[in-house]
A and B are shown apart, each in its own frame.
Chain A
Amino acid sequence: KAGVTQTPRYLIKTRGQQVTLSCSPISGHRSVSWYQQTPGQGLQFLFEYFSETQRNKGNFPGRFSGRQFSNSRSEMNVSTLELGDSALYLCASSLGLVLSTDTQYFGPGTRLTVL
């Protein structure tokens, strides 16, 4: 099976712009979770989508949003970018039956740099 793919791998934006990141889960997986990884804060949970619905949400401002399509592909959008949004954004997919015990499979991430 193909793994989790994320596009693009690298992205450079300027403050105030918006950005959309894409994640394609492993075939058959219905849950997609997003994480932000920074040197200072480590890995932080953004949100999780299951069957096109946001099922869980972390403590991030409303500038961070996402959606999931019927084929389980997911997109994450960040509006009004700030310097602090520079990070590695990781996507993880799982079967989605019970997120807390599922094995999550991570993609390679999208490296976002905000100038």
Chain B
Amino acid sequence: AQSVTQLGSHVSVSEGALVLLRCNYSSSVPPYLFWYVQYPNQGLQLLLKYTSAATLVKGINGFEAEFKKSETSFHLTKPSAHMSDAAEYFCAVSEGTGNQFYFGTGTSLTVIP
């Protein structure tokens, strides 16, 4: 069975500081990994995805994530936080054959001016 763990349901950073949102997964087969962002009263928007190509994945809005198989992690980072980054972030995993998505419980990011 697959699962996704997002450490820290709430993360606060100062504007201009590094953003680090943690995601660990468990999967019995090579996974596909995703990060989504959800703004208030909106649906989810894909930030980036890993589908077994380069382990360092660059996404929209300056975000990137690195797939580390040995650590079963797919942490999301951004060098410099902007006020507009305040939102809920979800990590998700899927398998090639299962065709189901498993989402983490989300991390709410607050950016302090």
Contact = CB atoms under 8 A, between A and B. Distances in A.
Interface string B89-104: 0101011111111111
Secondary structure class of chain A's binding surface, majority of residues? strand
Given A42-B105, A45-B101, A100 B32 contact: yes
A85 to B, nearest CB: 19
A33 B99 CA distance: 11
Contacts of B49: 101, 103
Nearest to A48: B99
Contact of B100 (A42, A58, A90, A98): A58
Interface in B51-96: 51, 90, 92, 94-96
Contact of A45 (B42, B46, B102, B106): B102
Contacts, number: 63
A43 interface: yes
Contacts of B51: 101
B90 A43 contact: yes
B28 interface: no
Interface residues of A, number: 24
A109 interface: yes
A107 interface: yes
A42 B95 CA distance: 19
A43 B99 contact: no
B112 interface: no
B27 to A, nearest CB: 11
A84 B98 CA distance: 27
B43 A109 contact: yes
Contacts of B43: 4, 90, 92, 106-109
Across the A-B interface, give the 4 residue pairs with the lowest CB-CB distance, nearest first: A106-B43, A43-B103, A100-B94, A42-B105
Interface of A: 4, 33, 35, 42-45, 48, 55-56, 58, 90, 92, 98-101, 103-109
Interface of B: 32, 36, 41-46, 49, 51, 90, 92, 94-106
